[in-house]
Amino acid sequence: MAKGLVVANVSKAFNKVKVLEDISFAAEAGEFTVLLGPSGCGKSTLLNILAGLEPVSGDGKVFIKDREVTDLTPKERNIAMVFQSYALYPNMTIRENIGFGLKNRQYSKQDLSTIVERVAKILRITDLLERRPSELSGGQRQRVAMGRAISRSPDLYLFDEPLSNLDAKLRVELRLELKLLHQNEKKSIVYVTHDQIEAMTLADKIIILNKGRIMQIGTPLQIYTAPNNVFVATFIGVPTTNIFPTTIEKNTDTQQLTFTLTNALNQSFTIPLKKHVLYDVLTRYTKKRILLGIRAEQLIIVTNNDRATNNTMNTMTSNNTTDRITGEDEISSAETTFSFKARVTAVEFVGSEFYVYFDIDAKRIVAKCSATLAIKRGDVITLRARYESIHFFDCETEERITAES
Q: Beta 249-250 vs 257-262: how paired, if at all?
A: antiparallel
Task: Write down the pLDDT at residue 317.
Answer: 36
Give pLDDT, residue 1. 58
- Report the b/e string of 82-117 with b at 16+ CB within 10 A: bebebebeeeebbbbbbbeebeeeeeeeeebeebbe
d(CA 177, CA 399): 37
Contacts of 144 (CB under 8 A, 6+ apart): 86, 88, 94, 97, 98, 123, 125, 128, 133, 136
Residue 303: the pLDDT is 73
Are 10 and 24 a contacting pair, CB within 8 Å? Answer: yes
Task: Using alpha carbons, select from 198, 176, 203, 201 the residue that is nearest to residue 188.
Answer: 203
- CA-based torsion, 109, 112, 114, 116: positive or negative: negative
Complete edge-to-edge strand list for the sheet that includes strand 189-193:
79-82, 156-160, 189-193, 32-36, 205-210, 213-218
Nearest alpha carbon to residue 7 among 201, 214, 221: 214
Nearest in space to 143 (alpha carbons), one of 161, 158, 125, 129: 125
Half-sphere exposure of 351 (CA within 13 A, CB side): 0
112 membership: H or E segment, kind and range: helix 109-122
Neighbours of 344 (CB within 10 A): 20
Q: What is the pLDDT of residues 347-387, one digit of tens each?
A: 999 999 999 999 998 899 999 998 888 899 999 999 999 98
pLDDT at residue 304 in the model:
61
Angle CA 215–219–222, to nearest 5: 75
What is the per-residue pLDDT across 169-179, written as a single tens digit (0 to 9) for each? 888 988 998 89
Tell me which amino acid residue 404 is: E
Q: How far apart (Å, rounded) are the C-alpha atoms in residues 131 and 96?
A: 10
Determine contact, residues 391/227, Cβ cutoff 8 Å.
Answer: yes
**Domains of the chain, first to last:** 3-232 (3.40.50.300), 242-394 (2.40.50.140)
- Of 169, 209, 159, which is closest to residue 51 (Cα–Cα)? 159
In DSSP terms, which residues pair with 391 in a beta bridge? Answer: 293
Considering just the CA atoms, what is the radius of gyration of the chain in Å? 26
172, β-bridge pairs: none
Does residue 327 come out as left (phi exceeding 0), alpha (psi in the -120 to 50 range) or beta? left
3-state class percentages of the chain: helix first, strand second, coil last, to nearest 5: 25, 35, 35
Neighbours of 269 (CB within 10 A): 23
End-to-end CA distance of the chain: 33
The confidence score (pLDDT) of residue 165 equals 81
Q: Distance between CA atoms of 132 and 190, rounded to whole angstroms?
A: 28
CA–CA distance, 66 with 228 (Å, rounded to integer): 29
Amino acid identity of residue 101, one-letter, is G
Rounded distance between C-alpha atoms, residue 213 and residue 22, angstroms? 7
Give every residue of the chain whose pLDDT is below 50, as ranges. Answer: 307-332
DSSP letters, 139-176, are HHHHHHHHHHHHTT--SEEEEESTTTTS-HHHHHHHHH
